Chains A and B, each alone.
Chain A
Amino acid sequence: MGFSLDWSVFLQELPEGGVYYWEMLLSGLWWTLGVAACSWLIAMFFGSIVGTIRTTRSQPLVFFGNAWVELFRNIPLLVQMFLWYFVLPEVIPPLKRWVVAADPAEAQFLSATLCLGLFTSARIAEQVRAGIQSLPRGQRDAAQAIGLDTVQMYRFVLLPMAYRIIIPPLTSETMNLIKNTSIALTIGLAELTFRTREMGEYTFRFFEAFTAATLIYIAIAMTANRVMAVIERRTAVPGYIAGGK
């Protein structure tokens, strides 16, 4: 009942010829990295803004920030992906016209990137807010006492400390985002996991294909993790447990 492993499968050509399986996985990897990078930028941008305005004293801003977070974090990514790609164009006719005319890969990329970016922005907003609120109240008071306005207070006092505190969970979110790109396979985007499954289907070598994908994901995540660890060390503030000596 056992089965033998055959690693040379990556050097075989696809049924239609001309392309090797390792090249197929590599093309998936580029899509994964592209979606991850673009949606990370979207997520950090909106997440920082929304997280910050939720700690202000302005009622409408706080309400807007809360609504944003609740909307994007309370529906599973799998379902959101489907709504962005299948349902939204049906409700917005101009979008539908664009989607039908555009290259399918572009429409999938746009849906996946926006969906993943906004989904993650809600989670980053939550981290940013928790970070700001974990700061001693004295910091806010002191900033106001020395005459900083609200923007200056956030820019020079609260945010620099808050970002340092939330680096560990922010690392988690970044790595989550990279891995969540795999859910874009549900709208047909040919990213790494999609290609891995496809390769499994063609060759019936699921174990080999999934092992390769696992190693690639580990490599990407380790790289992201190392970069964040360097940032964490470089920016540490003495006096907190994280700050070392």
Chain B
Amino acid sequence: MQHRAGLSAFAAFIKEITLKRLIRISLAAFVVLAAPAFAQTLTGTLAKIRDTGTITIGHREASIPFSYLDDKQQAVGYAMDICARVVDAVKAELKNPNIKVALQPVTSANRIPLLQNGSIDIECGSTTNSVDRQKQVAFGPTYFVINVTAAVKKSSPIKTLADLNGRTISTTAGTTAVPLLKKYEKTGNVDVKEIYGKDHSESFLLLVDDRVSAFVMDDVLLAGQIANARNPGDFVIITESLRTEPYSVMLRREDPQFKALVDRTLGGLMKSGEIEKLYARWFTSSIPPRNVNLNFPITPALREAFKNPNDKGVQ
């Protein structure tokens, strides 16, 4: 991200508004005059990309290994690699190899509003595809499947989720793990006390410092935290699952042309088996910036999703 010198940035901003208005007026005139020249009428996001010459990708900053900043502060990861294929497909579709790619960091709290207000065109991160969210946004085909479970110290007596009864656990605020855990407490007659970390590393720090007995979160994110710990061998992930959730890219709703392009691109990656190469690069090899290896092989549920590409959300 570029930080321009203070006042001049403000002046440039004002200037740009005026400039943008001029461009927009001339653009509008052009469109009116040239409208019949376009054989296929593009709508939604594809039309926006054609008009602005730019596709804006929303990415995460610390969602290892899906979408995060490496030591050169470039956004990298499994989801970013997949989105690069989408960008290629967009360029081919619009027959314009000069489409610019803009990157906009997003958080779990602002990703949906930013997508809706047009600040980003596609979100490439670790977003759960749920039926509830589908009322507001659309998703591409599932590219990852996680289990919500718990990480504990190896030395701890906790071996199953039921062992959490009577314990204090940590989890990250604003994630889907929170309501799941509450539901589990109710139905499983388990009584746990929660501490909410503001991000995964804080929740994990509470476990490292023995402030809590377990950290309840998506298994792949737990693996990422453990891989980065000082002593990765001290921790173990419980193999039970509170729930299985699909991850995918997030798109705007009611945008059939762009959705079809994304479905086609990701589906192609999955059918050709190319996605397994991408997977191996991020989940079973050393990844930047600290050259840790998550050692997280493809699960049967994910293999199933690759075989039958779909955008079904979790209830």
Contact = CB atoms under 8 A, between A and B. Distances in A.
- The answer to A–B direct touch (Cβ < 8 A) is yes
Interface of A: 1, 3, 14-17, 86, 89-90, 99-100, 103-104, 108, 185-188, 190, 194, 197-198, 200-204, 206-207
A206 B179 contact: no
The 3 A-B pairs with the shortest beta carbon distances in the complex, nearest first, are A188-B196, A16-B182, A15-B179
Interface of B: 108-110, 112-113, 116-118, 132-133, 135-136, 168, 173-175, 178-179, 182-183, 186, 193-198, 202, 205, 209-211, 252
B109 A90 contact: no
B194 A104 contact: yes
A202 B110 CA distance: 13
B116 A1 contact: yes
Contact of A104 (B117, B135, B174, B195): B195
A188 B113 contact: no
Contact of B179 (A90, A100, A202): A202
Nearest to B183: A16
A104 B193 contact: yes
B136 A204 contact: yes
A197 B116 CA distance: 17
A86 B195 contact: no
A30 B98 CA distance: 55
6 contacts: A1-B252, A86-B202, A99-B211, A104-B194, A197-B109, A206-B113
Q: Which has the most chain B C-beta neighbours within 10 Å: A99, A197, A201?
A: A201
A166 B195 CA distance: 40
Nearest to A17: B186
Contact of B112 (A86, A89, A99, A204): A204
A104 B196 CA distance: 9
B168 A198 contact: no
Contacts of B108: 201
Contacts of A200: 109, 174
Nearest to B185: A16
A226 to B, nearest CB: 33
Contact of A198 (B116, B174, B195): B174
A187 B195 CA distance: 9
A186 B198 contact: yes
A23 B282 CA distance: 43
A14 B196 contact: no
B196 A190 contact: yes
Contacts of A204: 112, 132-133, 135-136
A16 B168 contact: no
